[in-house]
Structure formats: C-alpha cells, structure tokens
Amino acid sequence: MADKKESKVETAKRQSNQLRGTIEQTLVSDAVCFDHDDIQALKFHGVYQQDDRDRRAGRDKHYMFMIRTKTPGGRMTAEQYLAMDDLARRYTWNNSLRITTRQAFQFHGIIKKELRQTIKEMNDALVSTLAACGDVERNVMASPAPIDSPAHRLNRHLADEIAAKLAPATGAYHEIWSDGEKQVRHEQPTDNEEPFYGEVYLPRKFKTGVALPEDNSVDVFTQDCGLVPIIRDGQIARVNVLVGGGLGMTHRKADTFARLGSPLGSVAPEDAADAVKIVVSIFRDHGNRADRRHARLKYLIEEWGMEKFKAEFVDRAEFALSEWIDPGPMQLRDYLGRNEQGDGKFFYGVWVENGRVIDTPQARPKTAFRRIAAELKPTVILTPGQSILFADMTADQIEQLQAILKEHNVRALDTIKGVRRYSMACPALPTCGLALAESERSFPSVVDEIERALADLGLEDEPITLRMTGCPNGCARPYTADIAFVGRKPEVYDVYVGGRLAGDRLAVLYAEQVKQSEIVAKLSPLFKSWAADRLPDETLGDFFDRLYTDGRPRTILTGSKEDQAYLKVVES
Ligand code: SRM
Ligand code: SF4
C-alpha cells in the first residue's frame, strides 16, 4: 500500500477535520448542492446527496437528499416511530418511509434547506443518523424476533454493544445537526479525537450482523463480520464468528466478486463484541486505501488467506479463539402474522412491499402503522426483509391491530404467498445515482407475473427468495436468493438462480441480459422442470443446484462472464 496513491475519498476524509468539512457553511449558503469532499463527509452523517433522475435534463440536476437512520437491530419505541412517520409526512417528497434491507429507515427527497431541521428532529426523538453511511461500522443487524430466550436476548444485546463500541466519536455530528447536544444511547461521548478510527476512518464501509441458527434473516454470510450464537442445553455455549462476506461487484469485472463469509472460529459470548472490533481494526490497518473497488474486507481476506487473517486476529485478541462450531442447517424466518414472545406477550409481523411504507388509493399502511403506534404503543422492529414487527402486545391488542390493518386495506397475510413473501427490491430509480435499471418500481409487476406462472404449475405456495436490484452492487442481497434480477441497462437484467432461503450458498448467472418483458419466458423451462422432477420439498434453488451446477460449494461469485458459465443450461 505504501507505494500506491491514496484514493480521492481518503484525501477528502483526511482533510475533513473529523467529518466537518465545509458542511455547515454550505448548509447556510445559497449553493444548491455540496462539493465532492463534503459529499463524502456527509455520508458519515447519514446523508446522501442525490438527484431526481426522472427530472434530469442533460447536465441539469434536480438535487435532493436521502437521510438514513442508524437503528441497531431495527428497534425503536412507538414514540420514535411516530416521530419518524411525522418527519416523513413533513419532509420527504412522497410522504413515505423506506425500510431498508439493514433494518433502518431511509427518507428520500429532502430539500437542502430542510436537511438540518429533519436531522435535528430525528435526534430530538433520540434516533441517530451518525454512521448510517460512510467508511465506518454501519447499522448492526440482528434477528428481529423479540423472543424472550437467552439467545434472542444476547442477539439484541450484541447489536447494541457492537454499535456503541464502534460508533464514531467526532463532535462534528452534534455540532452541525443538533447544536452540540449529545443524545442517543448507542453513541460514544463526543470528542474531537477518533481514538479508534483515526482521521481517515476505515478504508470503506463495514457491516456486521448477528444471526441465530434458527433465523438467518440477517443473511449472516453476506456480512463483513457475522456472528452466530450457538446454543447447547438451552444456554449460549459460544458465538461463531464469520469474516469476509460481501456482495458488491461490477458486471464483467472478474476482479470484483460477491463472497460468503469464512468461519474464523468461536468466542465466549462476553468477547463477541470485542471480536468484531478486532476484525474491524485489522480492516482499518490493512484494507486497500488506493482502490475503493477493492476496499472491502473480503478482498483483504482473499489476498491474505484465512490462516494469515486468523494469526493476525489471535495476535490482537486478549481472549481465546476456539474452533468454529457447526451451527447445523440455517433457516430464514420472517415472523409475519401473530407470534408468541415467550413472556406472555405477542408480536405481529406485517409484510411491506419493498419496504416502502406509503399510502396509495388501494391501501393505507402508513396511516395504519401510525394508528397502531399511537393507540397500542408497541415496540417497533424493522426486519432485514424490509418488513415490520409490532411487539410487546397483549392478545387483545393483537386483535385491535388486525382490525386496524383490515380497516386500512393492508394486504392480508393469506394473499402473501411463496414468492411474494420473501421478495425484496432496492430503491434504484429515480433516487439512486448508481442504478442502471428500475427495481422497486418495476418489481411488483414482475412478482405478479412470476406468481401467475408458478400458480399455473401448482407451485404458488412454495417459499422462494426473489430479489431485484438496479445494478450489481447487491443492496437487496440478490446473490444469495433462489432467483434474482440484477440490472444491466434500462429494462434489461441478468438473471441469477441457485441461492436458497438459508442464505448460505451463492446463486449463479442463469441468463444474461434478459428484457424485463421476457423474464418469465426465460424462467418457465426451469419452473416446469422443477415441477416435474423435484425431490419431495426440494426448493427451487436446491433443485437447480442439484441438477444444473457441478455441486461445488459456491462461496465466491465473480463479475466475469467466464466464471458464470451456466447460461442457457436449462433450456438445452
Ligand atoms: Fe447499498 C450504495 C441503498 C444495503 C451494497 N446503497 C448504495 C446507495 C447509497 C447508492 C450510492 O452509493 O449512491 C443506495 C441508495 C439508494 C437510494 O436511493 O436509496 C443504496 N443499500 C441501499 C438500501 C437502502 C437498499 C434497500 O433496498 O434497502 C440498503 C440500505 C441498508 C442500510 O440501512 O444501511 C442497502 N447495500 C446494501 C447491501 C445489503 C446489506 O448490507 O445487507 C449491500 C450488499 C452487501 C455489501 O455491502 O457487500 C449493499 N450499496 C452497496 C454497494 C456495493 C459495495 C461494494 O462493496 O462494492 C454500494 C456502492 C458503493 O458503496 O459504492 C451501495
Ligand atoms: Fe442503487 Fe444498485 Fe444499490 Fe439498487 S443495488 S440501490 S441500484 S446501488
């Protein structure tokens, strides 16, 4: 690294005076947008400068901002939810809240002059946006189920503990957005030093998720660092640690790839948060700071190999790293409908189409959720599947909740089957500057068509993970799904097949550059052969894997066409 020039973003971070830059001056100026260096610093504050791509005219851009919250494990109080709902009504461009695939909220279309007020009001509600984006530890994910068991309690505790241990310490955030006040529970005391991150922070983003063997909804193998508590005799025995997962890649670039995390070993539960901190520190010290396309932990691990990485970890740890413990087959849970918590209370999961909480002429989920929060005061939990759980309720309250959902025409549970239930799409157009194709806006009609095709074969109730993204960056975690559509150019997608609900296997490229209108025709031969030749209960991904691939464990998926040579195999 010493001989390589640092990237422009590294220079911007170094010169930002711990993320201050000239953000304050630009906020109060007449400028319509921020400059390159401030755009980088703003991300650490949870803010993306975007433009409305529907309204782009040549070089003229209609600037606006996206704000992302940091909500470890996706949890918030009813009061906090109500504050977020209210902010969405007053400041977003379409009165919507967007639940992200990492259990946070995004607010789109914020105008520059309301940016500061929006974030200030979030902080007033004790919801932070600091480190929701940027080259730091991102929002820590955890199994969303509010179940009263040692494993679930540890899971929630770890999300908070890791978030607190790895929160930036800069005073810039509160100086700029909330007049120097310090408020939120999982933050460090503010300081002008960054004892852990230093002046250039991490080489790139870092993501952590805590799963349970019975619930891998956090897609633990896709995290830079994943934790899996292992239960023996009802107690937590150890916590497994995975390192080096990540999904972002670039079309046809073989040196970029999606990768599943590798087992590092296991640690005592009380050491798990420190184990994550050590992994982050290795990335901080050795990650690539010259080429941002290769600046993720997965590339460092591929370069070093696990043996060297493990040795470095052991060298830094003041606690024991033991063998990885086989967690057994992982499962995906979504907790839709009524569930027992185990403490006499109940929680209820509501499916949200692509995470977009918005009222339409057909259904009013946003109003319904607002009423649920205001009248029943549940704990609110955002799920890794872009849906929402309302927790800590009595049986009577669950009935009231169901009545409110019905009154507002929120889609009934029995109409959310197989392929729809586990579907996810990223926002893409018109807000995402990196989108090559539509995603959230075109996905619903694709899901309708696929659902019809499966129903014709009697397969409509089969659980299938179906995901769409507007580019290969992987924001809706496409490469671990049974089927995924990844945008290549407007209305054209690469189709991936062969992941599975457990999230522990990568898909392969099944068909390249398929027009949106031809997606179902392309998948039909596979559906037909699955219907005819599947083993009992065999999922689509497992069937494809058994019949059409060579059965080698798929832990890496590169962006090269050569490495994805399963094209047209089902058709022949
Ligand atoms: Fe993402 C960049 C949206 C989860 C990989 N992601 C973006 C940006 C900020 C575009 C940008 O950089 O200008 C997108 C904003 C779009 C918009 O208009 O809102 C964006 N990512 C999202 C969200 C909102 C998708 C969603 O449907 O919910 C998710 C926000 C999560 C959160 O709350 O923090 C989101 N992004 C992910 C995930 C999935 C995950 O983390 O579980 C991934 C794949 C895992 C990974 O990181 O490898 C992901 N996003 C990326 C990448 C590729 C990074 C890479 O290593 O190459 C980018 C591009 C980048 O960072 O330069 C990106
Ligand atoms: Fe944007 Fe691509 Fe992420 Fe979709 S996958 S939100 S298009 S960066």
Average pLDDT over residues 348-362: 98
Q: Does residue 508 register a pLDDT over 50? A: yes
Inside any domain, residue 471: yes
pLDDT at 185: 46
Active site residues: 68, 138, 205, 207, 426, 432, 471, 475
pLDDT over 70 (residue 186): no
Q: What is the pLDDT, as a whole number, of residue 181?
A: 57
Query: pLDDT tier at 554 (50, 70, 90 boundaries)?
Result: confident
Instruction: Specify if 563 maps to a domain.
Output: no
CA dihedral 272, 273, 278, 281 (to 10 degrees): 160
479 plus 552 within the same structural domain: yes
Tell whether the model's pLDDT for residue 2 goes beyond 50. Answer: no
What total of structural domains would you count in the chain?
3
Distance CA 383, CA 389 (A): 7
pLDDT at 566: 53
Whether 125 and 263 map to the same domain: the answer is yes
Task: Report the C-alpha gap between 68 and 272 in whole angstroms.
Answer: 26
Give CA–CA dist 23/170, Å, rounded: 14
Residues 121 and 216 in one domain: yes
Where b means 16+ CB within 10 Å and e means fewer, 347-369 reads bbbbbbbbbbbbbeeebbbbbbb
Q: Which of 473, 480, 496, 506 to mutate to test the pocket of ligand 1 (most atoms within 8 A of CB)?
A: 473
Proximal ligand: closest to the CA of 476: 1
Examine the domain organization and report whether 378 and 467 are in the same domain. no
SS3 string of 149-186? CHHHHHHHHHHHHHHHHCCCCECHHHHHHCCCCCCCCC
CA distance 171 to 18: 8
The whole-number pLDDT of residue 192 equals 63
Answer yes or no: is pLDDT of 224 > 60.
yes
Query: Strand 97-99 and strand 105-110: pairing?
Result: antiparallel
The answer to whether 137 and 206 are in contact (CB under 8 A) is yes
Q: Are residues 409 and 430 in the same domain?
A: no
Q: What is the mean pLDDT of the chain?
A: 93
Task: Check which CATH number belongs to the domain holding 505 and give it.
Answer: 3.30.413.10
pLDDT tens-digit series, residues 27-70 = 999 999 999 999 999 999 999 999 999 998 777 899 999 999 99
Supply the pLDDT for residue 295: 97
pTM of the model: 0.96
Angle of helix 365-376 versus helix 78-91 axis, rounded to 10: 140
Q: How far is the CA of 432 from the centre of ligand 2 (A)?
A: 6
Ligand 1 atom with the smallest distance to the CA of 219 is: 42
Longest Cα–Cα distance of the chain, Å, equals 66
Joined together, the tokens standing for residue 97 give: 């809240």
Q: Which domain holds residue 117?
A: 8-185+196-316
pLDDT band at residue 267 using 50, 70 and 90 as cut-offs:
very high
CA 477 to centroid of ligand 1, rounded, Å: 9
Taking the centre of ligand 1 as the mean of its atom positions, its distance from the CA of residue 17, in whole angstroms, is 26
Say which range, 99-113, 383-397, 496-510, has the weakest mean pLDDT.
Answer: 496-510
Q: Tell the residue nearest (CA) to atom 60 of ligand 1.
A: 473
Same domain, 168 and 211: yes
Do 344 and 220 sit in the same domain of this protein? no
Between 121-130, 171-180, 400-409, the lowest mean confidence (pLDDT) is in: 171-180
Classify residue 358: in a domain, yes or no. yes
In three-state secondary structure terms, 233 is coil
Torsion sign, CA atoms 70, 73, 77, 78 = positive
For residue 417, pLDDT beyond 80: yes
Task: Indicate whether 98 and 145 sit together in one domain.
Answer: yes
Among the listed ranges 4-8, 126-130, 134-138, 237-241, which one has the minimum average pLDDT value?
4-8
The enclosing domain of 380 has a CATH number of 3.90.480.10
What are the start-end ranges of the E strands in 310-378? 337-340, 346-350, 356-357
